[in-house]
Amino acid sequence: MRQVFYRLGLTGYPLERSLSPEIHQAALRASGLQGEYQLYPAVPLPDGSAQLAEIIQRVRQGELHGLNVTIPHKQNVLEYLDELTPAAQAVEAVNTVYLQHERLLGDNTDIAGFWTDLMSAFPGVTGPALVLGAGGSARAVVFALLQQGWDVTVAARQQGKAEKLLQALNAPDTARTIRLEAAALARLQPVRLIVNATPAGMHPRAGESPWPVEANLPEGAAVYDLIYKPQETELMRQARRAGLQACNGLGMLVEQAALAFERWTGAPAERAAMWKAIPTSQR
Rounded to whole angstroms, the Cα distance separating 171 from 164 reads 10
Rounded to whole angstroms, the Cα distance separating 48 from 41 reads 9
Bridge partners for 4 per DSSP: none
Please work out, in degrees rounded to the nearest 5, the angle formed at the alpha carbon of residue 36 by the alpha carbons of 94 and 231.
Answer: 65
CB atoms within 10 A of CB 280: 6
Amino acid (one-letter) located at 100 = Q
Name the active-site residue from 74, 161, 164, 229.
74
Considering Cα of 216, then 167, then 225, then 145, what sign does the dihedral take? positive
Among this protein's residues, is 74 annotated catalytic? Answer: yes
Rounded to whole angstroms, the Cα distance separating 217 from 222 reads 10
| Chain centre distance of CA 206 | 17
Rounded to whole angstroms, the Cα distance separating 207 from 213 reads 13
Torsion of CA 214, 215, 219, 223, to 10 degrees: -100
DSSP letter assigned to residue 37? E
| Chain centre distance of CA 115 | 11
Phi and psi dihedrals of 155, rounded to 5? -110, 130
Point out the residues that are catalytic.
74
